[in-house]
Amino acid sequence: MTTNWSSDIAIAPQGALDRISARINRRGKRAFGVLKTTNEYVGVVGPREFEIWERQKRAIHARGRVEAAQRGSRLEVSFITPARTRVLVSVFYVLYALVAAGIATRQPDPTVSVEEVAVSVVGALVIAGIFVGGAQSQRKDLRAFLEEMFADVRR
């Protein structure tokens, strides 16, 4: 696991895991009782490891572990793309390619022109850019959540 974020904190490993457990899996405030107004984080916490993601933005997860260190703990976190997300994005692009090919080969001219291929490629790149931007935003939000959670006990 490649570490994307780490922090030395001045609390015991179990205290860090308890702090994470207390901050996740809680329903936040809602506008009109329905609409989410802030990010809500959910996840699982194990004996030494945890995994956190935003409730509605599941593409990027923060998977980390807490290790005992001198005078406290060390948090090591990797931001990962779960297998489910990779499979869904792959299926999306296969369907995109099939639809683009279907549109390009319609009657009255079933041959595929260079312009049609170029438009399909540009469309795929735009969608990839949107996906990458969303993933970067989710990483930034998860990092901010972790930094804010342990801001008062950092060494």
Query: What is the number of structural domains in the chain?
Result: 1
Predicted confidence at residue 1, as pLDDT, reads 60
Predicted confidence at residue 2, as pLDDT, reads 72
Predicted confidence at residue 18, as pLDDT, reads 96
Predicted confidence at residue 29, as pLDDT, reads 78
Predicted confidence at residue 142, as pLDDT, reads 96
Predicted confidence at residue 116, as pLDDT, reads 87
Q: Which domain holds residue 1?
A: 1-155
Ranges of the chain whose pLDDT falls below 70: 1, 155
Nearest CA-CA partner of 77 in 155, 2, 137: 2
Predicted confidence at residue 75, as pLDDT, reads 95
